[in-house]
């Protein structure tokens, strides 16, 4: 019995100790808290590390003093005052087309031919007018003879003279109508040729073979004189103070970056774009033959204020995703890719940097080689 009681006491004591320990664990907030998380910081994505930096020669960015400049982008557009519509004064059906959209044509060149009932009716009126004039002239000559012999009165002679004069007017009017339609009164032809009123380039075509043409309706063609064109640029509201009427602008074509053209500001838009807050600035440029409608251009407006810009080799600039970047030396075996805003191209394969890079920093001379190495 004593052994049994002793066993019961031992079991009860162990249970009490166990239950006391559980109660203490459940009441400790520190023990219930989750373990501390360890954050691993990722390396800056703009910094690249190479094993052999000596393979990438460096160039030191230098400073260059220049006039302040505003660089904007734009498009080549036709001078609307030099757009000439080709019209037809005769309604009818197109029987042939001798020019197409984009062709260069000369003044007087036949562009299309139209079979027209207007021309046929004009020839009919002209021939009737000629026949009436012949009869009126014969009656006038007869009346003069009769008047000379006293067979008719002066009034009858005057009536015959009036009929002859009116018949001549009808002949002249109907003949001019045929010439206006584009035909020769002495050469009857139901087909009228539509010619180019000026020399230039066909920039719009609204007619096809066998199509119908309505007199003074839709213009079959539009000819543009591209000897002088417009460069239309978007200038932000904050930069409008740097643009004035009559200023000279340097024009660089994206297709011909080494050639520079000069134009004059002829108009600054009075209404800003409600979304972008930009104004349309129109620059008139003499076209040497390289400018084509729709070309992208870069226009530079020069100011009087002197500024210091950074100059680096042109090969040090990486063009990526419509942006410009350079790799700047950032310590042992490391280079940092920095976004810049490039300016104009300088002689000696140099490039001006407007912002993003300070003089004195070292950049990789050939950024494309380093970028290709990183991609691998």
Looking at the structure of the chain, the number of domains it has is 3
Q: What integer pLDDT is reported at residue 90 of this predicted model?
A: 83
Instruction: Assess whether pLDDT exceeds 70 at residue 13.
Output: no
Q: What integer pLDDT is reported at residue 23 of this predicted model?
A: 46
Q: What angle do CA 219, 221, 225 make, to 5 degrees?
A: 120
Range of the domain at 316: 53-66+306-375
Helix 117-148 × helix 154-181 angle, to 10° = 160
* In a domain? residue 130: yes
Domain closes at, from 223, 242, 261 = 223
CB of 108 within 8 A of CB of 195?
A: yes
Mean pLDDT of 33-62: 69
Over residues 196-206, the pLDDT tens digits come to 998 889 988 88
One domain for residues 233 and 276: yes
One domain for residues 218 and 233: no
* In a domain? residue 151: yes
Instruction: Assess whether pLDDT exceeds 50 at residue 36.
Output: no
Nearest alpha-carbon partner for 175 in 129, 109, 137, 120: 129
* In a domain? residue 275: yes
Over residues 222-274, the pLDDT tens digits come to 999 888 999 999 999 998 988 989 888 999 998 888 889 999 999 999 999 99
CB of 339 within 8 A of CB of 325?
A: yes
CB of 53 within 8 A of CB of 333?
A: yes
- Which residue shows structure tokens 């036709």? 78
One domain for residues 286 and 351: no
Instruction: Assess whether pLDDT exceeds 50 at residue 38.
Output: no
């Amino acid at each position: 019995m004593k052994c049994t009681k002793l066993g019961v006491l031992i079991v009860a004591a162990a249970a009490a100790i166990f239950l006391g320990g559980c109660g203490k664990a459940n009441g400790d907030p520190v023990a219930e808290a989750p373990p501390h998380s360890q954050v691993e910081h990722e390396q800056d994505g703009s910094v690249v590390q190479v094993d052999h930096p000596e393979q990438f020669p460096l160039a030191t960015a230098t400073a260059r003093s220049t006039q302040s400049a505003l660089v904007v982008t734009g498009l080549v557009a036709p001078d609307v005052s030099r757009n000439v519509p080709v019209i037809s004064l005769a309604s009818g059906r197109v029987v042939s087309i001798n020019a197409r959209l984009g062709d260069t044509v000369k003044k007087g060149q036949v562009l299309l031919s139209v079979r027209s009932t207007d021309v046929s009716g004009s020839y009919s009126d002209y021939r009737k007018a000629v026949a009436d004039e012949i009869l009126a002239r014969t009656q006038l000559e007869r009346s003069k003879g009769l008047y000379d012999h006293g067979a008719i009165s002066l009034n009858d002679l005057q009536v015959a003279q009036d009929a002859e004069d009116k018949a001549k007017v009808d002949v002249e009017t109907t003949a001019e109508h045929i010439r206006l339609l584009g035909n020769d009164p002495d050469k009857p032809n139901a087909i009228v040729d539509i010619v180019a009123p000026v020399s230039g380039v066909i920039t719009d075509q609204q007619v096809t073979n066998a199509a119908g043409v309505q007199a003074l309706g839709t213009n079959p063609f539009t000819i543009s004189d591209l000897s002088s064109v417009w460069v239309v640029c978007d200038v932000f509201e904050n930069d409008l103070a740097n643009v004035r009427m009559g200023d000279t602008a340097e024009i660089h074509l994206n297709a011909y970056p080494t050639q520079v053209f000069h134009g004059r500001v002829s108009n600054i838009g009075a209404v800003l774009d409600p979304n972008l807050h930009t104004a349309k600035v129109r620059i008139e440029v003499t076209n040497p033959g390289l400018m084509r409608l729709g070309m992208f251009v870069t226009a530079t407006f020069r100011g009087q204020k002197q500024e210091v810009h950074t100059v680096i080799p042109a090969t040090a600039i990486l063009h990526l995703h419509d942006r410009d970047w350079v790799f700047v030396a950032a310590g042992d075996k490391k280079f940092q890719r920095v976004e810049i805003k490039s300016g104009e191209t300088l002689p000696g394969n140099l490039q001006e940097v407007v912002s993003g890079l300070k003089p004195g920093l070292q950049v990789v001379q050939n950024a494309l080689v380093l970028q290709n190495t990183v991609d691998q």
